[in-house]
């Protein structure tokens, strides 16, 4: 099995990590497994970047900048006016109010110019072979009623109108229709306004990624994409078939245990609860399982225990089918973060056995080596 690893996602803890300490942990991981790529977090100090770059170079692993494209990270003071706007006219809420989950509008011309220029500058400041683009999506709508649907700013209104789409009509529908019904219509790409809006959202995201990838390729840099698992991707405007041609490789976030954005348990549980409010829990789970094409936990309370390893292989096969010629890597959530993620050895081994018969290129150890107990790397050696 081939491996790539993510490392040093920004957060308050970085202030307490010495470059030597970061390098030592990475060295141990590179010695334990045949890791061929290191995806290094954004906004790191030059000393941290240099220490990790040396370790990657000595191990023959390519170093990528892990970069959150559509977020407010490092944006100028006027960035609040660039935020993605929900159907009520208020900014779409950010997960835990974190800047890295505060989404900018990809149709806002100043925001779009900023995110491309920020990416280009960040690459020029470090010894990176390429960029791994994260947050290439709209906000997820599953965690609230309708406030996360986006975007309805004047620039989106204008751009959608040029494509024959009336966003004011979409706003009225979203504000009056139950969330679960809107989710189903958009997920399926049904005929009618919501289906047209779903396709438009995918086109906007694909166009932004295409522009970023073209810039990166002009700079002779390779492009990796961080995309949602196929069962969830339609909800955030990601069409893997349209995104993959821009990339040298893609990673799908098929997180079996993560209780947070992009994690299968977190996202599907919120949707399931919305459906259960309209009827019997068992019927809601059965209907959602059929819609997603995935085995779901038997009850809403069981979602915190995560998804069965078989789901890992199902999503890997779908991703390979959608991605065409782009190599597909699957993200395995190995981190230990209380309240967010815990995974055990039998689950990891079962997931790897299930995925071996698919056409994936390898596994991305996710989503941050700093939070992965190093003994878990031994689970992967066989």
Q: Which phi-psi region, left, alpha or beta, contains residue 60 (left: φ > 0; alpha: ψ -120 to 50)?
A: left
- What is the overall mean pLDDT for the chain? 95
- Look at residue 144 and tell me whether its pLDDT is greater than 80: no
9-23, pLDDT tens digit by residue? 999 999 999 999 999
In terms of DSSP bridges, do strands 222-228 and 62-68 run parallel, antiparallel, or are they unpaired? unpaired
CA distance 226 to 255: 12
Whole-number pLDDT of residue 73: 86
Whole-number pLDDT of residue 278: 80
Average pLDDT over residues 234-245: 97
CA distance 21 to 38: 16
Helix (H, G, I), strand (E, B) or coil at 206: helix
331-361, pLDDT tens digit by residue? 999 999 999 999 999 999 999 999 998 999 9
85-115, pLDDT tens digit by residue? 999 999 999 998 888 899 999 999 999 999 9
CA distance 41 to 150: 27
For the chain, percent of residues with pLDDT exceeding 90: 90
CA distance 82 to 107: 9
Q: What is the pTM of this model?
A: 0.97
For the chain, percent of residues with pLDDT exceeding 70: 99
Residue 96 makes CB contacts below 8 A (sequence gap 6+) with none
CA distance 55 to 24: 8
272-325, pLDDT tens digit by residue? 998 998 889 999 999 999 999 999 999 999 999 999 999 999 999 999 999 999
Based on C-alpha coordinates, what's the Rg of the chain? 20
Whole-number pLDDT of residue 173: 95
CA distance 151 to 157: 9
- Domains of the chain in start order, with CATH, are 3-138+201-380 (3.20.20.80)
The residue written with tokens 């040029």 in the block is 162
């Amino acid at each position: 099995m081939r491996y790539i690893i993510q490392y040093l996602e920004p957060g308050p803890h970085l202030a307490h990590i010495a470059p030597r300490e970061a390098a030592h942990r990475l060295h141990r991981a590179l010695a334990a497994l045949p890791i061929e790529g290191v995806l290094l977090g954004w906004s790191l100090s030059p000393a941290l970047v240099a220490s990790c770059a040396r370790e990657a170079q000595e191990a023959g692993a390519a170093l990528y900048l892990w970069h959150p494209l559509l977020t407010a990270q490092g944006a100028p003071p006027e960035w609040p006016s660039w935020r993605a706007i929900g159907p009520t006219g208020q900014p779409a809420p950010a997960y835990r109010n974190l800047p890295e989950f505060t989404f900018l509008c990809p149709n806002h011309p100043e925001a779009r110019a900023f995110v491309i220029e920020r990416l280009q500058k960040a690459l020029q400041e470090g010894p990176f072979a390429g960029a791994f683009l994260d947050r290439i999506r709209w906000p997820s709508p599953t965690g609230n009623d309708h406030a996360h649907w986006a975007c309805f700013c004047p620039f989106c209104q204008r751009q959608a109108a040029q494509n024959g789409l009336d966003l004011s009509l979409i706003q009225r529908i979203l504000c009056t229709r139950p969330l679960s019904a809107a989710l189903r219509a958009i997920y399926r790409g049904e005929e009618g306004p919501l289906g047209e809006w779903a396709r438009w959202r995918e086109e906007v995201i694909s166009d932004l990624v295409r522009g970023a990838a073209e810039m990166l390729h002009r700079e002779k840099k390779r492009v990796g994409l961080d995309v949602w698992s196929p069962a969830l991707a339609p909800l955030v405007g990601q069409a893997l078939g349209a995104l993959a041609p821009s990339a040298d490789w893609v990673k799908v976030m098929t997180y079996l245990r993560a209780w947070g954005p992009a994690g299968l348990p977190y996202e599907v549980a919120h949707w399931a609860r919305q459906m259960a409010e309209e009827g019997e829990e068992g019927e809601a789970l059965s209907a959602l399982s059929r819609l997603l094409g995935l085995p779901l936990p038997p009850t809403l309370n069981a979602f915190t225990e995560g998804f069965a390893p078989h789901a890992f292989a199902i999503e890997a096969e779908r991703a390979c089918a959608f991605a065409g010629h782009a190599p597909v890597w699957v993200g395995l959530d190995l981190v230990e973060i209380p309240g967010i993620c815990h995974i055990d050895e039998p689950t990891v081994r079962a997931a790897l056995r299930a995925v071996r018969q698919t056409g994936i290129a390898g596994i991305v150890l996710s989503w941050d080596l700093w939070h992965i107990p190093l003994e878990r790397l031994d689970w992967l050696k066989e």
